Structures are given as C-alpha cells and as structure tokens.
Structure 1
C-alpha cells in the first residue's frame, strides 16, 4: 500500500515523485518503457521551472550540463530585426537553459533513486485504476503477468494518450493547427554562439537553438506534413531560407511533427490527478509544455502531502479548486502564447512580412513592450 502511485516516469512524473519522497511519503512510479529514451524533443527549461527543480536538488546538475541562453535575436532577409535579453526577468536564473531531454530525465531519475531505490518500477503496462472503497488499485501487466499497486492517491503523468485519463472517460478539448515542422540537430558551425535565433522569412519561420556538445537544433516550419524527413532535405531548407550552411552528415536527430493542443476540463477527479501532457498538450513551439507540467506538480504536491498527513480521504475542496483554477489558467495562457508564436512564424508575402518586421523592430525598442515579450518567452 503506497501513499501515492505515479503513472509515467517522464520528467513530470519523476519530478512529483521526488517532491513527495522528500516529504516522507511512500511512492511507486510505474513506467511501461524498460529503458530511458534518448529522445531530446524538449530542450528548453525556463527560469520558473528551474526554481521548481531546485526544490528537489536537480537544478544545479542540469545547469552544469546545459547551455545558458541569455540572449535571442530575430533576422529576416539577412538583416537583424530585433534582440531579446532573457536575463532581465530573473535574478536567480537569468537565462533559458538548453539541455537534452534525456539528460533532464536521467537527472530526475537519479534523484528519485537516491530518495528510494525501489520507487521506480519499469516495464509496467498500466491498464486501469479501480477505486475499491477508498483504496485505489492500479492494475496492469509486467513481464506477461498481472500486477497491482495500491495507493491512497494516483497521479497520471502518462502523456498525451493517457491510459488513466481514458479510464476516467475524459475526452480533452482538441484543437489542430495548420502548422507542420521538421527539426534536427547538427554540428554547430554557425557564428551565433549561445544565442537563440529566429529567422522570419517569407516561406515560414526557422528557429535555431544551441545545445551542449557543440550541437545546434534547427526547426523549420513547413506548409504540409513531411512523412520521411532526411538530414539532407532539412539542410537544404535551412540553406534556402536563412543562408546558413549545416553539415547534413553531422546530423544526430531528425523529426517531423504537426501541432495539436489538448486541455481537459478537470485535472483532479477525487484522489486521481492528471499532470503534464495527460492534462494539457501544448504546442512545442515556445517550449512550454514540460515546464508547465513541473509547475503543476509543484503546486499539487503540498496539497496531496497535507491530505496524507491529516489522513484525509481527499484534499481540501478549496485547495483543489484553487489549484485547478490557477493551473487551468496557466495552461490556457500557454496555449494562447504557443498559438501566437506559430502565427508569427507562418508564411507571408514579402512586402507584408517586411512591414510587420519593421513594426516589431520599432516596438521592441520600447522598454515596456520589450519587457512584456521577454517575460512571455521566459514564462514569467
């Protein structure tokens, strides 16, 4: 009998497990994958999330492993449109941290194992959660055999296609966007250093971010889905739109994706809570999804801990209502911001694009507007 059963050992599931373990609770983390993925889709960690990660002793390790992005720049047609200073909003973490997702996951997994070596259970395929008169039974399969884990609370951090959410009969509000992207990591032979760079071009936006190890990520907006992206075709697109040459032979990751957003009407259902992508899927353009999940977890953990310590059957209704209201508001804000980011990156006729870029360039020189933009980009 555990205090909390967490379904999903991604960055969000591991983070809330570490928080609850630090508070002295018995936690089981169930993960269907046997090994940690080497995928690095999410790379940006914003200052508020770094402050949250510091609560479990993970921030220092991640900062030591990543690249500190303190500035950004926007170009169009080879000319600089605007500059952004990401250092201003936060004194504690005056940068956006760029670090591969697998390193983030590995760091959080290490923290969980240090707190309880037996907490993480891999190879568990969760099938259902059953409420048995106050005891939540999480049932599934492991190595071909039926397994069951019992807990007072269950936290679903099992991703966009959450099994736990499906068992609750929830269908999140789905929105699709006319935006498609291909991204890849290449040897960084640019002159941009540790800057994030946006190229606002007639054919659509190109984004570029530094990664540790002399690698740079490139993201190119497309007008249609790309079924089989290749390093060569991506390198050609980058060259055509930005003039920047990348070595296709140095590619270490390539991926194509479309964009959807999902948002559940409720994140808490009795003693079952949904976090991260299980509760809200955010467009990856802007890099907010993983960060939002951590901030959700930081707000939920003390509520669950208080309920466990007072032996309450469920957390206080007012605290839960406040949690849901605040986190739903944050999710809607993140979805709106991601939608705006994508809209700014869509193709435009050259004359209209030039006029819009000139307007952005003038506006960014005003301190109040510049401060607002930077705070939006850094999730303050």
Structure 2
C-alpha cells in the first residue's frame, strides 16, 4: 500500500449519512472523497425528521439555518384515542436553540448536504462509482470498482462504509449483521394537508392499529398507517380509505406525491470497525423507522467517527475503538427506543393498559423526560 493516496478517507455511499460524514471530515480539514453508485439524486421523500442533536451539529457545519428555513418546525405532537386528544407532548420544554423536531423531505436534505459539500470540498462527490472489492494493508485500503463503467482503483488511509442496509463493504469484511424483522407492516404516503393540525404532529391509537401524521413543507402531510400485511402494489385510493376509516381525515388520493408499503427490521453489525474500515449509518445499524431515529443516529455516529478518524490519522487508534464501543451502545439504546415506539403502535387486547401508560407519560413529570427521549437526547 505504498502507492500515493487518492484521499485520506474514502466514503462508500453518497446518501444523507455519507454526505454528512464527508462534511464532518471536511470541517476537520481531512481530505475525503464520496463514492456514490447512482448518477442522480433520490426523488423519494423517505426520511423526514431532523432531531435537535442533529440540528446542533448541522449548525457547526454551517447548515442549520438553511434546514430550518426550508423545513417545518414541529413543536408538539398530539395523541388521539377514540377520536379525542389523550394528551400532548410539547417539545418547547427541550433545551434551546432547537426546541422542536424539523421535518424536511430527504430530497431536500440531500440537496442541501450536496451543495454544502461542493462549497467546502469541490469535486469530493464522485457519482457513478460502484465499488466491487477492497484490500486492506498495514498503511491503507485499496478500493476497486467501476467508475461509469471504467475499472478504477482508489487508495486511502481509511474507508468509511455508508452504503446502507445491504452494505457490500460490510459483506466484503465478513462482519455479521445480526437481527431480523418485526411482524409490523405499514403504508406511507404524502398528500395535500386538509387537516386543521397546522404544524403539529399527530398519533392515533385506533382499534385497527397506529396512524401517524406529520406536516411537511408546501402544505403537504405525511401519513403512516399500520397494516395487517405488507400491501405491495397499494394505491393512493387505499391510503385515502384507510386514513378516513380510522381517523376521519382526508389523505386525498389525487394529491398523492409518494406512496410506499414497507416492513420494519432491526439489525446491528457485530463490530463497527475492522482494521482500517469503519461502518456508519444503515451499514452499521438498522432500526424501526417509527420515531424517525435512523438517519439522525447515522449522523450522530458520523460526527463521532470523524473525530476518531482525525486521531487515527495522527497515529492514535484509540478513538476508533472508542467509536466502536460508544456508538454500538448508542445503537442498542436507539433500537430499544424504536422497539418501544413500534410496540406502542400495535392494537392488542391490552390497549387499555397501553393507553393508561400513554396518559401517565403525557400528564405527569414523565412528559419532559419522554420529550427528551423522543428528540434523541442522551444518545
């Protein structure tokens, strides 16, 4: 591995976590390149929640104002049971300067991250690069791949895998990915907002299962409906019918801009660091999306990993061991929180006990603690 390095760090995957990782490294003056397999940005809104700890780090990256300017500030969420408000969770009790959860479609999140990366490190994002193999040595890593069809080998001191749940890099390393699916399935869609909720979020406990509702920019509302099975091929009309039957709100089919049926899973890599290759984001951990922690957990991990890589580039590997230990702990805690959120959304014969627990959380001093937990404090 004596050949000249193409970058100090190569990042495989140019989604929101890979781009954020690159920005963290650029902030520290570390030369990096992002290798993204696709050639065009995503057009799917997918992840929408940006939690306060992420906004604090985006501020240090020079991006928080742009995010807040484009997004919707959700300062509270209502829980409805039987058509009535059981309680309200206020995020105003959380620490400033971001006492809210921001919602912004992933398309805009990635666009803002890309633009900032281009400003800080022009040319760092290389689209159309598909990694096919890697070789580790004592002083670096060689990545083999195809760049828009042409064979290419790149070399770096370290590699970060941010290439998602099906991470090729993780498989090449032989790192086990332990976990499995939950039995829960959902139908999700974005439609014109006809509710009177404004910028508030809403959760509905119904006999047929959970319904979630979140505001998005441009007068759009995200609906997530628990379903008895995975409804592949579902139509916007089905989403409209399910929302109306359960909560008497209109998710008008003719205004639908995104529709997705999905199941939920939980997986954690057996280790987040192997030699000179590190895992981050969904390559390292996959959570239930109920609660909106996944992308944010990836960002928090990237922030910690960037500082660890700075130490490692100076010859001190202790930071990488610390990242592996502390972020796997954070992933376990986030997985537990996501599992709790998922379980609370199930309709069971014990709904009365679940509702009593929810009332206790929302009407006692536990409410402030739960607001901190929901907004990802303590990870």
Q: Does the pair score TM above 0.5?
A: yes
> Is 1:378 equivalent to 2:375 in the alignment?
yes
Per the alignment, residue 33 of structure 1 pairs with: 38
Of the three residues 33, 56, 61, the one matched with 2:61 is 56
1:132-159 C-alpha deviation (Å, 9 max, x unpaired):
4423111101222101111001011010
Task: Identify if the C-alpha distance between structure 1 residues 124 and 265 changes in structure 2 by more than 3 Å, giving closer, same or farther.
Answer: same
Partner Cα distance (2:141, 2:242) in 1: 51
Per the alignment, residue 168 of structure 2 pairs with: 163
Matches within 5 A, 1:1-380: 1=5, 2-308=7-313, 310=314, 312=315, 315-317=316-318, 319-349=319-349, 352-367=350-365, 369-380=366-377
1:244-292 C-alpha deviation (Å, 9 max, x unpaired):
1221100000000001111011101121100000000111111001000
Preserved contact between residue 344 and residue 354 of structure 2 (Cα < 8 Å): no
1:294-331 C-alpha deviation (Å, 9 max, x unpaired):
100111111211232x2x2xx423x3332222111110
Task: Identify if the C-alpha distance between structure 1 residues 268 and 138 changes in structure 2 by more than 3 Å, giving closer, same or farther.
Answer: same
TM value normalised by structure 2: 0.95
How much has 1:212 moved relative to structure 2? 0.2
Partner Cα distance (1:355, 1:149) in 2: 57
Preserved contact between residue 361 and residue 370 of structure 2 (Cα < 8 Å): no
Partner Cα distance (2:284, 2:190) in 1: 29
How much has 1:359 moved relative to structure 2? 4.3
Unaligned runs of 5+ in 2: none
1:146-181 C-alpha deviation (Å, 9 max, x unpaired):
011110010110100111101001121022111000
How many residues in Structure 1 have an aligned counterpart in Structure 2? 372
1:67-125 C-alpha deviation (Å, 9 max, x unpaired):
00000000011111111001212211010000001111111111111112211110001
TM value normalised by structure 1: 0.95
How much has 1:223 moved relative to structure 2? 1.2
Per mean C-alpha deviation after superposition, the further-off stretch among 15-24 and 38-47 is 15-24
1:311-353 C-alpha deviation (Å, 9 max, x unpaired):
x2xx423x3332222111110111111111111111124xx42
Partner Cα distance (2:137, 2:284) in 1: 24
Partner Cα distance (2:30, 2:321) in 1: 23
Unaligned runs of 5+ in 1: none
Q: Aligned Cα RMSD in Å? A: 1.3
Q: Residue 53 of structure 1 aligns to a residue in which SS? A: helix
Partner Cα distance (2:119, 2:361) in 1: 49
Partner Cα distance (2:167, 2:104) in 1: 26
How much has 1:363 moved relative to structure 2? 4.1
Preserved contact between residue 81 and residue 358 of structure 1 (Cα < 8 Å): no
Partner Cα distance (1:322, 1:305) in 2: 13
Per mean C-alpha deviation after superposition, the further-off stretch among 274-283 and 130-139 is 130-139
Partner Cα distance (1:355, 1:24) in 2: 53
Structure 1: 4+ residue segments shifted above 3 A? none
